[in-house]
Structure 1
Amino acid sequence: MAQDLLILNGRVWTGDTANQRAVAVAISGGRIVVVGAADAARAAVSRDALVIDAGGRTVLPGLIDAHNHYLATAEALASVNVRFPAVASRTDLIQAIGEAAEVTPPGRWIRAVGLDWSKFPDERLPTRHDLDEATLGHPVIVYHVSVHHALVNTPAMRGRGITDAVQDPPGGHFVRDEAGRLTGLCLDAATDLILPVVVDIGCHGPNFHTLLPGEDSVALLAAASQVYLAAGLTTVCDPQVTRRELRIYREAAAQGLLGLRVALMPLSNHLDDFAAVGIAPPFGDDHLRIAAMKLYADGTLIGGTAWFSEPYGALGEFTGSTYWQPEQLRDLVDRAHGNGWQVGIHTQGDRAMAMSLDAIEAAMRAAPRSDTRHRIEHCGYPTPDQIARMASLGIIPVNQPNFLVDSGDDFLRHLGQRAHRLQPIREELDAGIRPVLSSDAFVSSLRPLDTISAAMTRRTRNGEPIGIDQRISLDEALFAHTIDAATSIGMEDRIGSLQPGKLADIAIVDGILENTEPERIGALEMWMTLLDGEIVWTTNT
């Protein structure tokens, strides 16, 4: 049994609209028993309770990231970092891979994460020949920052038996040069054919379900958990899980190495597997549970495959693409909904949004049920009418405003005025929707304070405004990263706010949030993180 704890002298933001501010929190048996005044909190715990003097710091419910690829992020943290600005040119890329090759045994895979070639000075797409210049002694994967695309070198192609004769799969594309030769760049579902994947997912999404020889994924999760806890995160929802990830998460939980609460969104390629054995959410416990079913409508904004009604790009060169025809997506959603699943559909462009909303509405009409909580992942560019439809259908938009920082300058260049309505969180709130903030890590920063700052400021990496009228307040951002995020994974009765009876997940900021300028919030650090009423991370960890 966990020791009683008493948090005093805090600026407690509870997430409970009926009792939003307090100065003390009492914890017993891993649960919150009192939130309020110091005297009441003291009276609720034993005499030998551990007293934590918060020193006037902001005390929050444990932060929840409802769209975070936890395992993939753990693996990315152990991979070669090719993110901007560390890699800002083709020369930087070759150098980074070359340095990794020098310390990697010959023949072993090299994985790099976070490449954004739109930041390269000439914007020319990199090719396998660039990677070949770095090494021909190792197969190499370089994931695009969106994770929807990947670049491989010639040894990787040969190892997978890929030749110029390969055909594009449904929902994917192999980039070729003027002579029709493969460049090594594969988009969306084409990744399924060219990478060392361990699960064939067909055209159900981008395939980053790789397993490199000698990699201990459970150990990587255990190491990554400390990074997450240091950011104040106590719960994440992994939005793309196959049998590979489910096995690793189960192993980590069995060994006590999961580190935080994890909700899982199985990919739609497993829909029939779950239906065959009668499993639907909620399924699991407070530490590892199955949540929604993940589906894909279109591709990615930064990769040019988001499906818009009007072309985009500096020259209008992008039209976008879909993983499914509308009737195919409708069938998947109908079967998932009919089997009791909440769905979460990756949707960026307005044309894809229409397809996703049509599919959800048709499924709800065919099999009415209450409290479906269907989700739109990313919710990149919904029109005002589509936002109204989401409100009427009770759909939860799961946003990632960090994208506006990381890629906002590219969005402004490629989308023009349309960029100012990307992730229209203010409009969602005004329509009566309770949107959710998340990171999409490993695509973007996993730190919730970065996400909150991005939602409040709406500024690009270069400081340009991008949809300033869509800014939200600190309170709105906190709700979206706590209780509303908990609602999106069906756990609002146990986590997401500091209320008596709830699990004692708490994040203490090393500062005062309400006294910090929005653009400086991301610079704040956590001071302490509690999970189940136990201190799991402090600044001295």
Structure 2
Amino acid sequence: MTHLYADTILYNGSIVAMDEEKRTYQAAALKDSKILALGNEQLMKNYSGPYTEAINLEGKTVLPGFIDAHQHIFNTGFNLLTINCDFSSSSEIVEAIKKRAEESHPDEWIIGWGYNESNFSEDRPLDQYTFTDIENPIFIARYCLHTAVVNGRALELAGISRDTVIEGGIIEKDPHGKPTGILKEKAMELVKSVMPPHTEESLSEMVIRANHEYIRNGITSVHEAGLGFFSGSMEEFKVLQQLSEAKKLNVRIYAMILTDFFKHLNGVKLQGNFGNENLKVGSVKLFCDGTLGGQTAAMSRPYANNRANTGIYMYSDQELENKITEAHQAGYQIAVHAMGDAAIEKILTLFEKALQTYPRSDHRHRIEHAAVTRDDLIQKMKDLGVIPVPQYGLIHDMGDIYMKVLDQPAYNYVFASKTFYDAGLKPAGSSDSPVIDFSPLAGIYAAMSRETKNKSVFLPEQRLSLVEAIETYTAFAARASFDENIKGTLEVGKLADMVVLPANFMQFSAEEVKNTEVDMTIIGGEIVFQRERSHQHG
């Protein structure tokens, strides 16, 4: 009998399987990218061969690799390469933009991202007049990606005047009808369309940069929430294919195709079986409404600080129904961006209608964000088998703003993570990066603490335990992409995707989780990231 020797053995650790029995092991044997065996150290000796690498974990904790179930890898990489405008005043943003402009040709676009006017310590607004001294065209995306500020030169190049209107978008205007430079939702596309197009090389550079940061944070898989969202083209899928085939991409990608590009698929049924363990397409992604912070999320009740506003919809009811029915009938999983309770209700009604017309037993349709819900909507998600995909980090980053703009009934259901969990909805953990920090540990901290930037605790009854929060970033996130048989838990035969964290991690408080650093990231049995040791070996 030929003996099976492992490629790698991890021993002397606490290997937390996150399986249904929540088993813990001391050691793991890995072979050919998968988990060969789990057990105690005596068992592992059976798999040691002449070429087996043995790694002493020194008591550290091993978890299944983190899966971010909703992020934007192109946007994230792009932002890592452009100007971070997450400052506490508009004058600091002006300084950063001015500095870049001084180093650039006057016709070169200056691109920034990440501003959040609610964090400004001064009242000076950010609009086209903020940048009157700068000749270059300027485009700065708000942290939420649903609003941007541009200067007069950019408005001019895009042909935006007092008469310009766009369906599904808002061009903010002053009392005299002149555009202020604030563009919301589809209005941003008017400027993006005149900006220099992205090349394959630049798109590749973005993905490689994001990939590098993801593995440093223990992320082994991501769900790409809308191919085409960043560049407006299917070049994005081509670039991911090329990088994956060239082995330049570590993280595994489950991609959603933006509904605008659905026609490219020609009705081919790709769900769950197109691609491989490293890159596959399984979902169609569409937007129903906007954001809570920007007060464009569609609500059943008006916003507390603007009683005339209940948000906006991206499509007419008929368009939404057509898009959902077409994708559902073709056999796809459907992932819909819906933040407000009115948007969520609308989408659940359309899912129900599609399922009645074309029954499917295991569709796993998703509500991306599912920010403001109600008891009846949670029950309907359960009845229909719909998966919510929340971002716990938004509670930390935006909770103070939500408290200001939402009335009490809506406020009581913001990211109802514990209610989702207890209802058996199996919510999938995610970041929506670059909207917020992509670190899963930051997300787990936010789920455990529900603490806002101003140290308020937002609905403490919705806190998750450490184990529950981890489960959303592992087993539940794997299930949300039909991957529970190959990842999300550490079991024999599954992919050897793991993250190594400090000893006793499973006893950590929220604050300790927040300050934790990833020690090692393993994808397919290969160490793709290892934190440098601060001490010198003698």
Q: Please tell me the TM-score bracket, short chain as reference.
A: over 0.9
Is 1:171–2:168 an aligned residue pair? yes
Alignment map for 1:502-541 (pairs within 5 Å): 502-540=494-532
Q: For the aligned residues, what is the CA RMSD?
A: 2.0
Give, in whole Å, the separation in 2 of the partners of 1:511 and 1:442: 30
1:100 alignment partner in structure 2:
100
Structure 1 residue 216: deviation in Å? 1.9
Sequence identity of aligned pairs in percent? 30
Distance in 1 of aligned mates of 2:124 and 2:260: 34
Which 10-residue stretch deviates more, 388-397 or 4-13? 4-13
| Equivalent position SS for 1:437 | coil
Q: Which amino acid aligns with 2:258?
A: L
Q: Distance in 1 between matches of 2:203 and 2:319?
A: 34
Amino acid at match of 2:203: S
Within 5 A, what are the aligned runs for 1:216-365? Answer: 216-242=202-228, 243-277=234-268, 279-316=270-307, 318-365=309-356
Matched with 1:40 is: 43
Q: Who is 1:203 aligned against?
A: none
| TM-fit CA distance, 1:524 | 0.3
Structure 1 contact 127–185 (Cα < 8 Å) conserved: yes
Check conservation: 1:420, 1:466, Cα contact below 8 A. no
Question: 1:73 aligns to what?
Answer: 76
Letter paired with 1:217: L
Moved more, 171-180 or 512-521: 512-521
CA shift for structure 1 position 275: 2.9
Cα distance change, pair 343–123 in 1 and its aligned pair in 2 (3 A): farther
Code of the aligned partner of 1:478: I
Unaligned runs of 5+ in 1: 199-209
Distance 1:489 1:458 in 2: 26
Looking at structure 2, the residues matched to 10 and 403 of structure 1 have their Cα atoms a distance apart, in angstroms, of: 33
Match of 1:7 among 6, 10, 26: 10
Q: What secondary structure does 1:421 align onto?
A: coil
CA contact 2:157–2:194 (8 Å) conserved in 1: no
Shift in Å, 1:197: 6.7
Distance 1:278 1:59, change over 3 A: closer
Does residue 471 in structure 1 map to residue 463 in structure 2?
yes
Contact preservation (8 Å) 1:400, 1:451: yes
Distance 2:422 2:370 in 1: 16
Helix, strand or coil at the partner of 2:171 = strand
Helix, strand or coil at the partner of 1:406: helix
* Distance in 2 (alpha carbons) for counterparts of 1:114 and 1:32: 40
Tell me the CA shift for residue 91 of structure 1. Answer: 1.1
Deviations 1:107-162 (A, max 9, x none): 221211111112224656421111333x21x2211001110111111222222233
Instruction: Tell me the TM-score normalised to structure 2 length.
Output: 0.93
Deviation at residue 277 of structure 1 after TM alignment: 4.9
**Higher mean Cα deviation, 237-246 or 43-52?**
43-52
Say which is worse superposed, 325-334 or 394-403, in terms of deviation.
325-334
How far is the alpha carbon of 1:276 from its aligned partner?
4.6
Partners of 2:48 and 2:21 lie apart in 1 by: 23
Q: CA, structure 1 residues 409+97, in 2 after alignment: closer, same or farther (shift >3 Å)? A: same
**TM-score in terms of structure 1 length:** 0.93
Aligned AA for 2:481?
I
Residue segments in structure 2 that go unaligned for 5+ positions in a row:
229-233, 534-538
Asked if 2 retains the 8 angstrom alpha-carbon contact of 1:511 and 1:524, the reply is: no
Q: How does 1:398-409 map to 2 (within 5 A)?
A: 398-409=389-400
Which amino acid is 2:39 matched to?
Answer: G
Amino acid aligned to 2:486: R
Shift of 1:430: 1.7
Q: Residue 489 of structure 1 aligns with which residue? A: 481
Q: 1:45 to 1:326 in 2, by over 3 A?
A: farther
Is the contact between residue 137 and residue 154 of structure 2 (CA under 8 Å) also seen in structure 1? yes
Bigger shift: residues 317-326 or 336-345: 317-326
How far 1:256 sits from its partner (Å)? 2.2
Q: Partner of 1:59 in structure 2?
A: 62
Shift of residue 54, structure 1, vs aligned partner? 1.2
The answer as to whether partners of 1:274 and 1:280 remain within 8 angstroms in 2 is no
Does the Cα contact within 8 Å between 1:4 and 1:27 map onto a contact in 2?
Answer: yes
The match for 1:153 is 151
Deviation at 1:211, TM superposition (A): 3.7
1:409-443 deviation digits (Å, cap 9, x = unpaired)? 11111115333420101111221211111000000
Shift of residue 213, structure 1, vs aligned partner: 7.2
Higher mean C-alpha displacement, 358-367 vs 317-326: 317-326
Superposed displacement of residue 192, structure 1: 1.6
**Corresponding residue for 1:110?**
110
